[in-house]
Amino acid sequence: MLAPYFPSINPERFACVHRIFGASNAARMLQQIPVEQRRQAADAIALEAYWRVQDPVYGSVGVISMLQREISVAQRELAETQAQVSMYTAQVQSQSNQITQVQYLVDNAHLIPNQPPIHGLCQPPDIP
Amino acid sequence: MLAPYFPSINPERFACVHRIFGASNAARMLQQIPVEQRRQAADAIALEAYWRVQDPVYGSVGVISMLQREISVAQRELAETQAQVSMYTAQVQSQSNQITQVQYLVDNAHLIPNQPPIHGLCQPPDIP
> Is the pLDDT assigned to residue A125 strictly greater than 70?
no
Q: Kindly state whether residues A10 and A49 are assigned to the same domain.
A: yes
Q: Over 60: is that where the pLDDT of A119 sits?
A: no
* Cβ contact, residue pair A48, B58, below 8 Å: no
**Is residue B124 a part of any domain in this protein?**
no
Do residue A18 and residue A3 come from a single domain? yes
State the Cα–Cα distance between residues A109 and B103, nearest whole angstrom.
13
Question: Is A95 near chain B, with CB under 8 Å?
Answer: yes
pLDDT in tens, B34-82: 999 999 999 999 999 999 999 999 999 999 999 999 999 999 999 999 9
Q: Do B71 and A68 touch (CB under 8 A)?
A: no
- Confidence at residue A126, expressed as pLDDT on a 0 to 100 scale: 63
Q: Would you call B57 and A37 a contact, using CB atoms and an 8 Å cutoff?
A: yes
> Based on the structure, what is the number of domains in chain B?
2
Nearest residue in A to B17, CA atom: A21
Q: Is residue A119 part of a domain?
A: no
> Exposed/middle/buried for A59, CB within 10 Å: 0-12, 13-18, 19+?
buried
Given B38, B54, B70, which residue is the final one in a domain?
B54
Cross-chain residue pair B121–A115, CB shorter than 8 Å: no
Q: Has residue B38 been placed in a domain?
A: yes
Q: Residues of A with CB below 8 A from B59's CB?
A: 44-45, 48, 60
Residue A116: pLDDT over 60 = no
Residues A50 and A86 in one domain: no
Domain membership of residue B69 as a residue range: 60-109
B128 falls within a domain: no
Residue A101: phi and psi, rounded to 5, are: -65, -45
Q: How many residues does chain B have?
A: 128
Q: Both B44 and B6 in a single domain?
A: yes
Identify whether residues B19 and B65 lie together within a single domain: no
Based on the domain organization, do B4 and B45 belong to the same domain? yes
Query: Which positions 25-44 of B are in contact with A (Cβ < 8 Å)?
Result: 25, 29, 32-33, 37, 40-41, 43-44
A12 and A48 in a single domain? The answer is: yes
The answer to the question of residue A97 being in a domain is yes
Tell me whether residue B96 is in a domain.
yes
Contact B44 A56 (CB under 8 A): no
Please judge whether A67 and B67 are an interchain contact, meaning their C-beta atoms are less than 8 angstroms apart: yes
Same domain flag for A78 and A46: no
Backbone φ and ψ for A95, nearest 5 degrees, come out as: -65, -40
pLDDT at B50: 96
Q: How many CB atoms lie within 10 A of CB B55?
A: 15
Interface test with B, best of A61, A94, A105, A121 (most B CBs within 10 A): A61
Is B17 inside any structural domain?
Answer: yes
Cross-chain CB nearest to B89 (options A45, A88, A99): A88
* Element containing residue A71 per DSSP (H, E): helix A59-107
Any domain includes A125: no
pLDDT band at A111 (very low <50, low <70, confident <90, very high): confident
Q: What is the ipTM of this complex?
A: 0.74
| Residue in chain B nearest A98 by alpha carbon | B99
